Chain A
Amino acid sequence: MKIVAVTACPTGIAHTYMAAARLEKVAKNFGHEIKVETQGAMGIENKLTETDIRQAQIAIFAVDIEVEGRERFHGVKVIQVALQDALKNPENIFFNIQR
Chain B
Amino acid sequence: MTQTLNPSLQYEFSCPLTSGLHARPASHLAEVANRFLSDCSVTNLRNGLVANAKSVLGLIAADIRYQDRCVLFVSGSDEHLAQSALKQFLEKNLPRCDVPLAEFPAADLDGAVPRTLQAAHAAYISGIPVSRGIAQGKVVLVRRITLPNDLGSGEPLNMQKELARIHEAVAAVRQRIGEQLKYAITPVSTAVLQADLAMANDVLLLEKLTEQIGSGKSAAQAIVDAGEFFIDLLGHSENDYIRQRAADIEEICLQLLEEVGATGAVPTLELSAPSVLVAETLGPQQLLRIDRQWLKAIVLEHSATTSHAAILARSLGIPTLAGVRNARLALVPGREIVVDADRGFVIPQVSAVVTRFYEREQKTLSRRNELRSHVESKAAVTLDGEQIEVAANVSSGEESTLGFANGADGIGLFRTEMIFLGREDAPSEDEQCAIYSEVARNAKGRPVIIRTFDIGGDKKVPYLNLPREENPFLGYRGVRIYGEHRELLQPQLRAILRASEVGNVQIMAPMVATAAEMIFFKAAVDRAKHDLGERGTRYRPDIKTGMMVEVPAAAFFLDELCAEADFFSIGTNDLAQYFFAADRSNPRVAPHFNVRHPAFLRLLDHLVKEIHKHRKWVGMCGEMAADVQNLPLLLGLGLDEISVPAVEVHECRRMVGRLNSKRCVEVLERALACGNSEEVDELLAATAARSAPQPLLSDELIVLESTSQSKEEVIQEMVDAFYISGRTDDRHSLEKALWARETMGSTDVGYGFAIPHCKSDAVTANSISVLRLNEAINWDSGRGDRVSMVVLLALRESDPGSTHMQVFSSLARKLMNDEFRQHLLKTQTPHDVKEYLGSQLGIAVAMVDPVSS
Q: Which residues of A contact B (CB under 8 A)?
A: 9-11, 13-18, 20-22, 25, 38, 40-42, 45, 64, 83-84, 87-88
Per the bound structure, the CA–CA distance linking A17 and B807 in Å amounts to: 11
Contact: B816 with A18, CB < 8 Å? yes
Would A17 and B809 be within 8 Å (CB), given that A11-B759, A25-B816 are in contact? yes
Of residues 744 to 786 in B, which have CB atoms within 8 Å of A's CB atoms? 744-747, 749-750, 755, 757-759, 784
Q: Lowest 7 A-B CB distances belong to which pairs?
A: A17-B812, A21-B816, A17-B809, A21-B813, A14-B812, A18-B812, A42-B805
- Whether the pair A13, B816 counts as a contact (CB closer than 8 A) is no
Please indicate the chain B residues that have their CB under 8 angstroms from the CB of A10 in the complex.
744-745
Is B585 an interface position by the 8 A CB rule?
A: no
B793 close to chain A: CB less than 8 A: yes
Considering the complex, which residues of chain B in the window 377-429 have a beta carbon less than 8 Å from any beta carbon of chain A? none
Q: Contact: A13 with B793, CB < 8 Å?
A: yes
| Interface presence of B815 (CB below 8 A) | yes
Report Cα–Cα, A87/B757, bound state, in Å.
16
The yes or no answer to B741 lying at the interface (CB within 8 A) is: yes
Q: Is B795 an interface residue (CB 8 A)?
A: yes
Q: B403 → chain A, closest Cβ, in Å?
A: 40
A54 to chain B, nearest CB (A): 27
Complex Cα distance, B809 from A10, in Å, reads 14
Query: By the criterion CB–CB under 8 Å, are A64 and B745 in contact?
Result: yes
- A98 to B747, alpha carbons, bound, how many Å? 29
Query: Looking at the complex, which one of B746, B749, B758 makes contact with A18 (CB distance below 8 Å)?
Result: B749
Beyond A13-B795, A21-B816, A41-B795, 9 additional contacts (C-beta under 8 Å) are A11-B744, A11-B758, A13-B808, A13-B809, A14-B811, A15-B745, A15-B812, A41-B800, A88-B784
B802 at the interface (CB under 8 A from A): yes
A18 in contact with B805 given A11-B758, A88-B750 (CB within 8 Å): no
Q: Which residues of B are found within 8 Å of A87, using beta-carbon distances?
A: 749-750
Within 8 A of A (CB), among B622-654: none
Query: B745 — which chain A residues lie within 8 A by C-beta?
Result: 9-10, 15, 64, 83-84
Q: Which residues of B contact A18 (CB under 8 A)?
A: 749, 755, 812-813, 815-816
Q: Determine which residue in B745, B747, B811, B816 has the highest number of CB atoms from chain A within 10 A of its CB, and name it.
A: B816
Q: What residues on A are CB-neighbors of B757 within 8 Å?
A: 11, 13-14
How many chain B residues sit at the interface, stated as a range, is 20 to 34
Residues of A within 8 Å of B784, CB to CB, are 88
Tell me how far the C-beta of B446 lies from the nearest C-beta in chain A, rounded to whole angstroms. Answer: 46
| Least Cβ–Cβ distance between A43 and chain B, in angstroms | 9
Q: Does B806 contact A (CB under 8 A)?
A: yes
Complex CA gap A10/B746 in Å reads: 12
Q: Which B779-804 residues sit within 8 Å CB-CB of chain A?
A: 784, 793, 795, 800, 802
Name the distance in Å between B768's Cβ and chain A's nearest Cβ. Answer: 11
Q: Contacts of B793 on A, CB cut-off 8 Å?
A: 13-14
Residue of A nearest to B815 (CB): A18
| Alpha-carbon distance A42/B802, docked complex (angstroms) | 7
A18 CA to B746 CA in the complex, in Å? 13
Contacts of A9 in B (CB 8 A): 745
Q: Which residue of B lies closest to A9 (CB)?
A: B745
Chain A positions within 8 Å of B746 at CB level = 84
Q: How far is the CA of A92 from the CA of B86 in the complex (A)?
A: 91
Q: B744: which A residues are within 8 A, CB to CB?
A: 10-11, 64
On chain A, the residues within 8 Å of B750 by CB distance are 87-88
With beta carbons under 8 angstroms apart, the residue of A42, A64, A83, A84 that contacts B809 is: A42
User: Are the C-beta atoms of A14 and B816 separated by less than 8 Å?
Assistant: no
Kindly state the separation between the CA atoms of A41 and B784 in the bound complex, as whole angstroms: 26
By a CB distance below 8 angstroms, the chain A residues around B809 are 13-14, 16-17, 38, 40, 42, 45
Complex CA distance for A71 and B806, rounded to whole angstroms = 27
Measured CA separation A15–B757 after assembly (Å): 10
Give Cα A40–Cα B758 distance, bound, in whole angstroms.
Answer: 13
Expressed in whole angstroms, the minimum distance between the Cβ of A36 and any Cβ of chain B is 11
Chain A residues with CB under 8 A of B802: 42
- A13 to B758 Cα, complex, angstroms: 8
Contact with A along B716-755 (1 / 0, CB 8 A): 0000000000000000000000000100111101100001
Distance of A9 Cα from B758 Cα, bound (Å): 13
Given contacts A18-B816, A84-B745, contact A42 B755 (CB under 8 A): no
Assembled-state Cα–Cα distance A87/B813 (Å): 11
CB distance from B740 to the nearest CB of A (A): 10
Chain A contacts of B741 at CB under 8 A? 11
Query: Which of chain B's residues has its CB closest to A18's CB?
Result: B812
A76 to B351, CA, bound (A): 59
Report the minimal beta-carbon distance from B467 to chain A, rounded to whole angstroms: 64
Residue of A nearest to B756 (CB): A14
Query: CB-CB < 8 A to A83: which residues of B?
Result: 745
Query: B808 near A22 (CB under 8 angstroms)?
Result: no
Task: Enumerate 6 A-B pairs (CB-CB under 8 Å) in ascending A order.
Answer: A13-B793, A14-B811, A17-B812, A18-B812, A88-B749, A88-B784
Alpha-carbon distance A42/B806, docked complex (angstroms) = 8
Contacting residues, chain B, for A45 (C-beta < 8 A): 809
Q: Which residues of B contact A40 (CB under 8 A)?
A: 805, 809
Task: Establish whether residues B805 and A14, one from each chain, have CB atoms under 8 Å apart when the complex forms.
Answer: no
Nearest CB in chain A: distance from B434 CB, A: 59
CA distance A40 to B805 in the complex (A): 9
B759:A13 contact, CB within 8 angstroms? yes
Q: What separation, in Å, do the CA atoms of A43 and B724 have in the docked complex?
A: 33
Chain A min CB distance to B295 (Å): 48
Q: Are A22 and B816 in contact (CB under 8 A)?
A: yes
Check A13–B805 contact: CB distance below 8 A.
yes
Most buried by B among A11, A13, A42, A83: A13
Alpha-carbon distance A27/B116, docked complex (angstroms): 41
Q: Would A21 and B812 count as touching, CB distance under 8 A?
A: yes
Residue of A11, A22, A64 most packed against chain B (CB within 10 A): A11
Measured in the bound complex, the distance between the Cα atoms of B656 and A55 in whole Å is 56
Interface hits, B304-358 → A, CB 8 Å: none
Contacts of A15 in B (CB 8 A): 745, 747, 749, 755, 812
Q: Once the chains are docked, how many angstroms separate the CA of A52 from the CA of B286?
A: 82
Report chain A residues within 8 Å CB of B813.
17-18, 20-21
Within 8 Å CB of A16, what residues of B? 809, 812
Chain A: minimal CB distance from B149 (Å): 68
Q: Which residues of the partner chain B approach A38 to less than 8 Å between Cβ atoms? A: 809
CA distance A10 to B741 in the complex (A): 9
A76 to B409 alpha-carbon distance, docked (Å): 69
Distance of A20 Cα from B814 Cα, bound (Å): 11
Nearest-neighbour CB distance to chain A for B781, whole angstroms, equals 15
Residues of B within 8 A of A64 (CB): 744-745
Determine the chain B residues whose CB is within 8 A of the CB of A42 once the complex forms: 802, 805-806, 809
Cα A88 to Cα B810 with chains together (Å): 19
Closest to A10 in B: B744
Residue of A nearest to B740 (CB): A11
* A-facing residues in B553-603 (Cβ within 8 Å): none
Interface centre among B749, B800, B817 (most CB of A within 10 A): B749
| Distance of B793 from chain A, by nearest CB (Å) | 6
In this complex, what residue of B is CB-closest to A23? B816
The distance from the CB of A92 to the nearest CB of chain B, in whole angstroms, is 14
A84 to B784, CA, bound (A): 11
Q: How far is the CB of B86 from chain A (nearest CB, A)?
A: 68
Docked CA distance A41–B758 (Å): 11
How distant is B782 from chain A, measured CB to nearest CB, in Å? 15
Which residue of B746, B747, B809 has the most chain A CB atoms within 10 A of its CB atom? B809
What's the minimum C-beta distance from A12 to chain B, rounded to whole angstroms?
Answer: 9
Residues of B within 8 A of A21 (CB): 812-813, 816-817
Distance in angstroms from B638 CB to nearest chain A CB is: 40
Interface string of B816-843 (1 = CB under 8 A from A): 1100000000000000000000000000
